[in-house]
Amino acid sequence: MPPVDFHVLAGTESRARGRFACREIEKAFLADQTVLVWCDSETEAAALDELLWTFADRSFVPHELLTPESSWEETPVLISAAASPPAPPQVLVNLAAGMPPGIDTAGRVIEIIDADPARRQAGRARFRRYRELGIEPTTHNVSAD
């Protein structure tokens, strides 16, 4: 099973959570790792897709929404709310309320939680589930930008 890192943000602003996710995605990309970002909905996936284009002036992270037409073999960062790529990612970033599919084949899992009560509660449930699976997650408390 992969290592799991929970990044717990102090605020509740969803855009700050998205920007933090973009920075983690960028770090993985710059380390030459493939990334799958798991979202709750197509709307959330599309919002993250847009944010990855604009979160930093100095940055370019090649990415696309995962669809049947995706060139997943050539794109280092894929975003999805429904399908997993045929090849397991080296980094799986979970922005969804539930457990992402394919955690057992990912190289590493990143969970990003903010202070929103519903997201905190869902994050706690996932944390317990990881422990039940024999994974001891690492928690990182993140201060505001």
What pLDDT shows up at residue 144?
57
SS3 83: coil
| Residue with more model confidence, 124 or 13 | 124
Q: List the domain range (segments joined by +) for residue 23.
A: 4-142
Query: What CATH number should be reported for the domain holding residue 27?
Result: 3.40.50.10110
pLDDT band at 56 (very low <50, low <70, confident <90, very high): confident
Burial 101-138 (b: 16+ CB within 10 A, else e): bbbeebebbbbbbbebeebeebbeebbeebeeeebebe
pLDDT, mean of residues 16-41: 95
**What's this model's pTM, rounded to 2 decimal places?**
0.93
* Distance between CA atoms of residues 117 and 48, nearest Å: 21
What pLDDT shows up at residue 99?
92
What pLDDT shows up at residue 40?
95
Contact 4, 135 (CB under 8 A): yes
Domain count, the chain: 1
pLDDT in tens, 85-103: 888 999 999 999 999 888 8
| Position 37 pLDDT exceeds 90 | yes
What pLDDT shows up at residue 145?
54
CB burial of residue 59 (10 Å; 0-12, 13-18, 19+): middle
| Position 71 pLDDT exceeds 80 | no
pLDDT, mean of residues 47-61: 87
What pLDDT shows up at residue 12?
81
pLDDT band at 19 (very low <50, low <70, confident <90, very high): very high
